[in-house]
Structures are given as structure tokens and as C-alpha cells.
Amino acid sequence: MFHFTIQEPAAQSPAPPQAIDAFGQLPQLASTFDHVDGLFYFTYAVCIFFFVLIVGVLLFSVVKYRRKTWDQPPQSSVTHNTPLEVVWTVIPLIIVMVMFAWGYMGARDMTIAPAEASRNLYKATAKQWNWTFSYPNDPAQSFNEVWVVKDKPVEFLLESTDVLHAFYLPAMRVKRDVIPGRYQTIWFQPTQLGQFHLFCAEYCGKDHSRMYAKVHVVTAEEYAKRPWDLWDDSTPAAAAKSGASLYSQICASCHTVNGTPSVGPSWKGLFVKNADGTIVGRQREVIEGGARKTITVDEAYILESIKKPDAKKVAEEPYVRNAMTAFPDLEERKIKGLIEYMKSLADTK
Ligand SMILES: [Cu+2]
């Protein structure tokens, strides 16, 4: 049996590879939607049965009833057999009706969320190329990682701020398009503790393949600790560390920290350390409202770059052509952590 694991970018801590079932077909089921597997394997078995039957009869007939000499006349001129035709129409009809009824019931279960799930409503916002999650009755958000409670039905309200995406959580057997300008919902009841992959299943641009998140299914006690909101900013060093982990979740797809240019400029060198130890921002050529000007990088500029990236665009090619994704709702302490992190990258001049 072959196994594959999903490659994680180095910046993120990898989720454990997901076990594939004995048929090598579906990842391990971790929700109550077992009818998906039942219907899948039923359809699979029906296909295999009829493939073998039809190809078998075909091959048998080809050999048995072939023309054995050049001048052999046709042995039969039968063109119809009503009982046989009724049988091969009615039996497949019954089989597809079973598939339809099974699929219909499954689809109904999936689309109609129970009240308990709707009371446990999360929001998942998709944008190029990351996921933002909001929790029921909780102001904090998390990025590319979300925590749900085992055995507790949960519903997600799905929205996109740019293009088509799709919320695809194979272990839970759920998938739904995320459509700009329209709310979609999806619900499931996780049955196993662990970490599961959430993918974007709609090709949505250059970094579509990196647009995935981790779903943590945890116990109620673990959930009560609000693991999505662990943000240590007790000291500048701790804030920089929190900032670094947020960076790897939502900024690393476009910014490096080692000086190599990526979609956006590297953060290394945004701040420089003077000989006397003070950390100052670099000079930066920007385009604001069509005019080119030089500014000094400071906290206000970074804040603006995060909330309104188009206000001042880096004038250097090729960045100026690529608009950065805006993060208008990013909390202030998180922005501070990111700034601490940028400062911690400063080199001695
Ligand atoms: Cu996407």
C-alpha cells in the first residue's frame, strides 16, 4: 500500500501525515458523515461488478461466437429479446435509484445543519491565499489554524473577500465552494481528536497549492484554554516570537526574512541597527497617489502597509505591480508583535 504525505512549507509546523484507509482511497473518517464512505464504496463495488460482468461476457462472446472460417454464414439474426432488455433496464434502474436515495439523504444531512451546530457558529474567511477563522462568542481570530471540540457539531459560515475558493476537509467528508459576495455554510461533527488538513479545493491563483489550514479537534478542557489566542507579549522578545509565528502563518507566502525578494520585499533590512544599538527604519521609495517619494520606515508606515497596502506602494520593481492582501482587522497587539519581529531582524550596520 502506498502512502503519501502532504508537504508543508518549512515555516509551518507540519501536521502528522494522515492515514489512508485499507483501500487507499479516502483519508481516515473523523466525522459522523459515514454515509459518504458507504455510498462511495457501494458505487465502487457496483462499478467493479459490472465492469467484470460486461467485459467478461464481451470477451467470452468474442471468442465463442467469432467467425471461424471466411465463408461461415451468420448463425443467428436475432435483433431483440424483450425479457432480456427489461432485465438490463430494470436492474440498473433499481441500483441507480438506491444510489440516488442514499446520496439524497446524505446531501440533505449535510445541507441542513442541526440547531446545535448552528449555535456553535464559526466564520471562515478565505482570501488569496490564507484562511481566517472567527470563533463563537470570542473576539479573537486565528489564521490557517482552527480549534473545534470533539463530538460537538460545528457550523462554519464561509466567505471570500476576493475570488472563488473551496472549503475542503477530507477527513470530515465535507467540501463547499466559497463564493465572493455570498455566504455559504458547512457543518460537521468531529469524532476524533487530532489535527486534520483543510484545503482550498478551487484553483484560486498562484499560491493556491499553499492555501491550506490545520483543524485541531480538541477536548472541551483544551478548548477552554483558547489555544488560538496564545499571544505572549510580556517582553519585546516574547512579542517578536509571537510575531514570528504569525508571520509564518500569514505573511511568509509573500515575504522572506533572509533578504531574498519574493512576491513582496524581504523584511530583512526594513530596520537597521546603528553602532550605538538603536534600531531605526530604512529609507524607502514609495508611490503614494501616483507620486514618488522617499519615506523612513516606521511603525505607522508598517501599520498602513498591513491595513491599507495600496496607500503607499513600494516603488521598486517588481513589487509595485503586485498589490498585497490587506489585513484590515488585524489586532493591534498582533501588529506590534510583527513589528517587534521585523526589528529583531535588524543587522548591525
Ligand atoms: Cu483558494
> Residue 269 maps to which CATH number?
1.10.760.10
Task: Compute the distance from residue 205 Cα to the ligand 1 centre, in Å.
Answer: 7
Number of structural domains found in the chain: 3
Q: Does residue 13 surpass a pLDDT of 60?
A: no
Q: What is the pLDDT of residue 3?
A: 45
Domain of 135: which CATH number? Answer: 2.60.40.420
User: Pairing relation of β-strands 184-188 and 194-200?
Assistant: unpaired
Task: Compute the distance from residue 211 Cα to the ligand 1 centre, in Å.
Answer: 6
Which residue in 278, 235, 233, 261 sits closest to 317, CA to CA? Answer: 261
Task: Compute the distance from residue 89 Cα to the ligand 1 centre, in Å.
Answer: 43
Q: What is the pLDDT of residue 7?
A: 42
Confidence of residue 4 (pLDDT cuts 50, 70, 90): very low
Q: Does residue 2 surpass a pLDDT of 80?
A: no
Q: What is the pLDDT of residue 53?
A: 95
pLDDT tens string 249-301: 888 888 999 888 888 999 998 999 888 888 899 999 999 988 899 999 999 99
Q: Would 212 be classed as within a structural domain?
A: yes
Least trusted range by pLDDT, from 16-25, 95-104, 242-251, 257-266: 16-25
Q: Would 338 be classed as within a structural domain?
A: yes
**Same domain assignment for residues 194 and 251:** no
Q: Does residue 8 surpass a pLDDT of 70?
A: no
Angle 105-108-110 from CA coordinates, rounded to 5°: 110
Contact, 8 vs 212, CB < 8 A? no
Q: What is the pLDDT of residue 9?
A: 43
Q: Average pLDDT in the 154-174 region? A: 94
pTM over 0.75: no
**Same domain assignment for residues 263 and 197:** no
Q: Would 3 be classed as within a structural domain?
A: no
Task: Compute the distance from residue 135 Cα to the ligand 1 centre, in Å.
Answer: 21
Q: What is the pLDDT of residue 11?
A: 43
**Same domain assignment for residues 241 and 323:** yes
**Same domain assignment for residues 246 and 308:** yes
Cα–Cα distance measured from residue 172 to residue 174, given in angstroms and rounded to the nearest whole number:
6
Q: Would 132 be classed as within a structural domain?
A: yes
Which residue in 236, 213, 216 sits closest to 226, CA to CA? Answer: 216
Q: What is the pLDDT of residue 265?
A: 92
**β-pair partners for 190:** 31
Backbone φ and ψ of 297, nearest 5°: -65, 125
Task: Compute the distance from residue 204 Cα to the ligand 1 centre, in Å.
Answer: 5
The residue among 171, 201, 229 that closes a domain is: 229
**Same domain assignment for residues 131 and 101:** no
Q: Would 23 be classed as within a structural domain?
A: no
Alpha-carbon Rg for the chain, nearest whole angstrom, is 28
Q: Would 71 be classed as within a structural domain?
A: no
Confidence of residue 330 (pLDDT cuts 50, 70, 90): confident
Q: What is the pLDDT of residue 1?
A: 38
Task: Compute the distance from residue 293 Cα to the ligand 1 centre, in Å.
Answer: 35
Q: Is 78 exposed, middle or buried (0-12, 13-18, 19+ CB in 10 A)?
A: exposed
CB atoms within 10 A of CB 79: 5
Confidence of residue 21 (pLDDT cuts 50, 70, 90): low
Q: Does residue 247 surpass a pLDDT of 70?
A: yes
**Same domain assignment for residues 194 and 255:** no
Task: Compute the distance from residue 325 Cα to the ligand 1 centre, in Å.
Answer: 13
The residue among 194, 229, 264 that closes a domain is: 229
Domain that holds residue 50: 34-62+80-111
The residue among 229, 248, 277 that closes a domain is: 229
Q: What is the pLDDT of residue 254?
A: 87
Task: Compute the distance from residue 137 Cα to the ligand 1 centre, in Å.
Answer: 26
* Alpha carbon of residue 5 to chain centroid: 15
Task: Compute the distance from residue 124 Cα to the ligand 1 centre, in Å.
Answer: 12
Task: Compute the distance from residue 129 Cα to the ligand 1 centre, in Å.
Answer: 6
Q: What is the pLDDT of residue 17?
A: 52
Which residue in 335, 305, 329, 308 sits closest to 123, CA to CA? Answer: 329
Confidence of residue 234 (pLDDT cuts 50, 70, 90): confident
**Same domain assignment for residues 305 and 323:** yes
For residue 312, give the 3-state DSSP assignment. coil
Query: What are the angstrom distances between the C-alpha of 300 and each of 149, 241, 264, 331, 336?
Result: 39, 21, 19, 14, 11
CB atoms within 10 A of CB 286: 19
**Same domain assignment for residues 180 and 273:** no
Task: Compute the distance from residue 94 Cα to the ligand 1 centre, in Å.
Answer: 39
**Same domain assignment for residues 192 and 130:** yes
Q: Would 103 be classed as within a structural domain?
A: yes
Q: Average pLDDT in the 317-339 region? A: 85
Q: Would 19 be classed as within a structural domain?
A: no
**Same domain assignment for residues 104 and 119:** no
**Same domain assignment for residues 250 and 186:** no
Task: Compute the distance from residue 151 Cα to the ligand 1 centre, in Å.
Answer: 28
Q: What percent of the chain has pLDDT over 70?
A: 92
**Same domain assignment for residues 300 and 318:** yes
